[in-house]
Homo-oligomer: A and B are copies of this chain.
Amino acid sequence: MATIRPTDWAILQKSELFRDIDPRALDRLAARAIVQTLPPGTVLFAQGERPDFLHLALSGRIGLIGHAEDDQESIVEFFATGDLFIAPAVILDLPYLLSARLLEESRILAIPAEEFRRLMREDHGLALAVAQELSRHWRLLVRQIKDLKLRRAPQRLGAYLLTLSGGKTGPIALPEERRLIAQRLGMTPESLSRAFATLRDHGLDGRGQEVAIIDPAQLQAFCLYDETT
């Protein structure tokens, strides 16, 4: 448990979510919030639990993980600095459909769930911002579903790299270990490796940590990639 630092405030005020909120409301919220720096591997909450807090990443990287009963698991999305995660469970006061695990040491803001719901009811700006934030997340998820249903493994990887790079030529810093990227893309690490190999014939270069897009147009053509795909 710790207090909010000036650098934390900067992130909050800059975040999409709290930018238009009434400053006094933000003050009150901050007074009840908890900030913690937590080690990698920490599970913020687990699938099936009731939400006690709304979490927001002030730094670090977090993985949202879905579990099956046979202890298989899969990463649904990565989140990083400034991201708010799994607001829906908190808003609806329903059990989490996903678990959240820190992928590296992260600074986490935790807002009591009931407090957040009350603030949403009282502050119109916050309710609006939440609707917009959820809209963005909705689009992320829809993209992923289309990806899973309409693309094969190498094309999924290519599309993922193209969105990471913003369409530019040049080296790409992979945000995570390949093992985790494979899970996010819905394939095994072995398949990911083979997918990289396949893409070497289609405008991508590199193996290991160093990856670079040589020919974005060729890669886009191969992946059937466009803005709304």
Write the residues of chain A forming the contact surface with B, with a CB cutoff of 8 angstroms: 47-48, 66-70, 72-74, 76, 87-89, 91-92, 94-98, 120-121, 124, 127-128, 130-132, 134-139, 141-146, 148-151, 186, 224, 226-229
When the two chains form their complex, are residues A135 and B92 in contact, meaning their CB atoms are under 8 A apart? yes
- Min Cβ gap A29→B in Å is 16
When the two chains form their complex, are residues A145 and B141 in contact, meaning their CB atoms are under 8 A apart? yes
Cβ of A127: which chain B residues have Cβ within 8 Å of it? Answer: 124, 127-128, 131
When the two chains form their complex, are residues A87 and B135 in contact, meaning their CB atoms are under 8 A apart? yes
Number of copies: 2
Closest to A228 in B: B48
- Known contacts A67-B150, A96-B228, A134-B135; 16 further A-B pairs (Cβ under 8 A): A66-B145, A66-B146, A66-B149, A74-B146, A76-B145, A91-B135, A92-B135, A92-B136, A94-B139, A97-B143, A98-B142, A124-B124, A134-B134, A141-B142, A148-B148, A148-B149
Q: Which 6 A-B pairs have the closest CB atoms?
A: A88-B135, A66-B146, A134-B134, A69-B224, A141-B141, A127-B127
Q: A121-B128, A127-B124, A131-B131 are in contact. Are A142 and B66 (CB under 8 A)?
A: yes
Closest to A226 in B: B69
Closest to A88 in B: B135
Cβ of A68: which chain B residues have Cβ within 8 Å of it? Answer: 146, 150-151, 224, 229
A203 to B171, alpha carbons, bound, how many Å?
53
Q: A68-B229, A69-B224 are in contact. Are A145 and B146 (CB under 8 A)?
A: no
When the two chains form their complex, are residues A97 and B139 in contact, meaning their CB atoms are under 8 A apart? yes
A227 to B67, alpha carbons, bound, how many Å?
12
Cβ of A124: which chain B residues have Cβ within 8 Å of it? Answer: 124, 127
- Min Cβ gap A13→B in Å is 21
Cβ of A151: which chain B residues have Cβ within 8 Å of it? Answer: 68
